[in-house]
Chain A
């Protein structure tokens, strides 16, 4: 059976520290665009931590929501691409073929999660930042869309290692950079087709939901909702 890669995000565990954002940038050669361009909405973050503030002062709670490509099974970005640059792999990944992308940006408009990013200019790594470029990940040129790949280079490396040892992949062997960097273990990656994987187990939790699930995109990212009870208890404790 092919793999079906997915991620579980435990919102009770996320502290909003953004270590995942930094790790992803380093792993995937995500370019920095500078302050002025970032202010114009051209910053690229394959993963971002959205912050929502609930309630009125002093009874305020901040919610953190890590958002990245949801690798939808019914992805709105895929059919609209005229050149098949955005397509579905056999193991369920939403791949973006940089070489095939001509930059219509239609996929980015169609994506309800706004997790697709565009290279408005050729990326630059000022010295000595160029020394930390990851040789396993290609650099994207101007006019090309990019987005979270679930660290496909790590998936491929683990698959090759397992094949060399002539054994199946073990759960936990593939860890994307964001999940690896998460200090509170809020991100769990794994094969959703393996019923014993930790990701599968968590995805079956009664707390598991999809982001914008009502749109029918069938994402492979599960969010474990905050426990309502904890909220109430915390607030009562404060008073």
Chain B
């Protein structure tokens, strides 16, 4: 597919790991500084009190919960791209899967921070853990926040395994190539991988099981995140459509994040030969599909609310569509529907630049969508006497910016330590016949390659 020999593939993809350029240091320092600024802001918030954030009565949840939902949503890139493409044996998945799986793990790590950051007393967060305490108090299993705790931890463990399993053969390759102390580290990480037929069969089986298991887990995670809202009797939160609506939005933003990450990696690590127009086009078509699904959900949700004309719900609906949040709402519609629809459905515009522009718009739009689901409802609950507004503060904005920097930093560090494109899977794809019947896994070519090219 790449038209390169196995040796060239190994050299090209291991170069960013084995050679360090000044650009790595520049990126790490810049992003690291932003992350430190975010940590400082959080420290300030903990010492001064959560009041340094813009939340108030009645808007008790603001930027932090928006970021929480956004990042947990982005984390759906890995599963849905990687697992589904693996299970359907989509041949173009090979250079894409590892970046997608890494996004999942990092986005989850970042997203899972926000329930802690937003707490009034974060030092007591361990009370959410089900541990046997001397007072024999367990977490309240009726609370959607406790469901969140279990769902996110399950997903984090699962997606970490899903990232690490296909990494093992590449770690073995690194072990054989690296020198000095790094060689020892990679030897430990490679878990004794020798590339025997037995080990390959085990790996394929484990990856297959994980790919199947992780899909329902991913769907449940964002459904449960949506239940944080849908379970509360708050106008426009208390909705039956939220589960699938949130999952669709999560996949949507996940694909967009993956396209942006791929474009950055392609430039920074000079992977033009591996991340080709084909990959951006294929992901762009998926993005277009999800844009239409998302638009359908928004349409269905808002039309039924408007037609039902329940006063408390309509107050929120109109605040968003023609009230103080109208600008953000129509910007969201433009970013999530109009722009991606134009850029991705016209073949001439569906270039690498085109899909990246559409993806950046979708990321902005999906962040706005999370904000517009959470905040306007809280500003207009049932008793008009207690209506309110929300204005984020510098602390919230800094922490929000820091999470995007954290995503970049984790990616920079990851692509420094590990090949960001799965080397053995790429070689396997180049060797294999283009059509493989589903369920049939032929390892002979891969193993031959492993032995010929240590």
Contact = CB atoms under 8 A, between A and B. Distances in A.
B121 A112 contact: no
A41 B233 contact: no
Contact of B140 (A51, A67, A81, A120): A81
Interface string B91-128: 00000000000000000000000010011111011011
Interface in A34-55: 37, 40-43, 48, 50-52
Question: Which residue, of B56, B120, B124, B378, has the highest number of chain A Cβ atoms within 10 A?
Answer: B120
A102 B124 CA distance: 6
Contacts of B382: 112-114, 212, 215
Contacts, number: 140
Contacts of B143: 79-82, 106
A125 interface: no
A134 interface: no
B56 to A, nearest CB: 3
Question: Which residue, of A42, A79, A84, A104, has the highest number of chain B Cβ atoms within 10 A?
Answer: A104
Contacts of A103: 50, 119-121
A199 B386 CA distance: 27
B119 A102 contact: yes
Contacts of A122: 49
A178 interface: no
A114 B386 contact: yes
Given A113-B383, A120-B51, A82 B121 contact: no
Interface in A135-161: 141-145
Contact of B383 (A42, A50, A80, A143): A50
Contacts of A65: 385
A37 B393 CA distance: 14
A105 B49 contact: no
Given A51-B385, A212-B382, A108 B57 contact: yes
A88 to B, nearest CB: 12
Contact of A41 (B122, B125, B388): B388
A76 interface: yes
A82 B382 CA distance: 24
Contacts of A82: 127-128, 139-140, 143, 145-146, 149
Interface string B357-388: 00000000000000000000010011101101
B57 A42 contact: yes
B90 interface: no
B119 A109 contact: no
Contacts of A84: 137, 140
A109 B378 contact: yes
Nearest to B381: A114
Question: Which residue, of B60, B127, B234, has the highest number of chain A Cβ atoms within 10 A?
Answer: B60
A214 B415 CA distance: 56
Interface in A78-97: 79-84
Interface in A104-136: 104-106, 108-110, 112-114, 117-122
B232 interface: yes
A109 B60 contact: yes
Given A112-B381, A114-B381, A37 B120 contact: no
Given A79-B142, A109-B378, A112-B383, 6 more contacts: A80-B145, A84-B137, A102-B124, A103-B120, A114-B57, A141-B121
16 contacts: A41-B58, A41-B389, A50-B383, A50-B386, A67-B385, A82-B146, A100-B137, A103-B119, A103-B120, A105-B118, A112-B382, A121-B48, A121-B51, A144-B120, A145-B120, A215-B233
